[in-house]
Chain A
Amino acid sequence: MASETMVQKQSEETRPNLETTRGGHVYRPNVDIVEKQDELVVLADIPGVKGAEIDIRFEDGELTIHGPATPRQDGHTRYLLQEYGVGDFYRTFRVSEQIDASRISAEYRDGVLSLHLPKVEAVKPRRINVKTG
């Protein structure tokens, strides 16, 4: 039986040890997680990151998204208005669905990371015919 919380939050608050070696802030991206019949889709807003530098790991049922972001203005910039900071995006999830890790795919476009996590065949709903007679 599938557990009730198929994807549980495990944000960086539960990992006080997490620090970046370069210093600076780490930001938790907003995500959508959509479960479809044969896959989980994760959409994460990580603007200003280079696609090739995004690090995605799936290990022991734990999905980690790390999008390194370097400041776009030099350190001496004096802001007339500063409403947000720029730094790495980082977020981890525990995924209790059975995922076929070898078929995970990712795409980065317009600052949005789209991750496709295909379920392994066994957990796809299957119709079982009941024989009568």
Chain B
Amino acid sequence: MWRMSNGSNPVGMLRNEVDKLFSDFFGPHVGTAESGVRGRAFPALNVWERDNELFVEAEVAGLRNEDLDISVMGNQLVIKGRRADVDEESATYHRRERRVGEFSRAIELPVAVKPEQVQARLSDGVLLITLPKAEAAKPRKVQVTT
């Protein structure tokens, strides 16, 4: 029976193949600050608005408050974070799809907001950022005089 001398086993080799397939299929692993040119940026965002607020939501499983750094500068919202790598010693990975490491994502806000009133809440791995709009950005009812 043929064996690799460096301790690799057939299971590990197969796993590498599978991983390669995954990365071919889903594109390169994104989630680190240096990527973002190719593939999907992390975290993926949904953005919507109400009359007085703008909402930004992201799915960030495994992150806690202390892992996140959210800031608003001008009309830019920056979400930075880090998901710890739980490397198991003396264990074999059969799948390793969950992204770890640092990420940073900046988006341009479509309207002016009040940076000092921005709130973020993390619940079951879902991040919801509430950005109250600046007065000038709120819809205003215009009275029509006759």
Chains A and B are bound partners: yes
**Interfacial residues, chain A to chain B (CB-CB below 8 A):** 4-7, 9, 30-37, 40-41, 43, 45-51, 72-73, 77-84, 108, 110-112
Given A6-B11, A80-B48, are A32 and B96 also a contact pair (CB < 8 Å)? yes
List 6 A–B pairs whose Cβ atoms lie within 8 Å, in order of A's numbering: A5-B11, A30-B99, A46-B61, A47-B61, A48-B126, A73-B46
- B88 contacts chain A at the CB level, 8 A cutoff: yes
Task: For residue B138, give the distance in angstroms from its CB to the closest CB of chain A.
Answer: 16
Taking a contact as CB atoms under 8 Å apart, the answer to whether B91 and A4 are in contact is: no
Taking a contact as CB atoms under 8 Å apart, the answer to whether B124 and A37 are in contact is: no
Chain B residue contacts of A47, Cβ below 8 A: 59-61, 124-126
- B134 contacts chain A at the CB level, 8 A cutoff: no
Number of interface residues of B (CB under 8 A): 35
Chain A residue contacts of B40, Cβ below 8 A: 83
Partner of A80, one of B47, B92, B124: B47
Interface string of B1-40 (1 = CB under 8 A from A): 0000000001100100010000000000000000000001
Partner of B46, one of A32, A33, A51, A81: A81
CA distance A45 to B60 in the complex (A): 9
**Interfacial residues, chain B to chain A (CB-CB below 8 A):** 10-11, 14, 18, 40, 44-49, 57, 59-64, 88, 90-99, 107, 110, 122, 124-126
Given A110-B124, A111-B125, are A45 and B94 also a contact pair (CB < 8 Å)? no
Taking a contact as CB atoms under 8 Å apart, the answer to whether B107 and A72 are in contact is: no
Given A48-B126, A111-B63, 15 extra CB contacts under 8 A: A5-B14, A34-B93, A35-B93, A41-B91, A46-B61, A48-B59, A48-B124, A78-B48, A79-B48, A80-B110, A82-B47, A111-B61, A111-B124, A112-B61, A112-B62
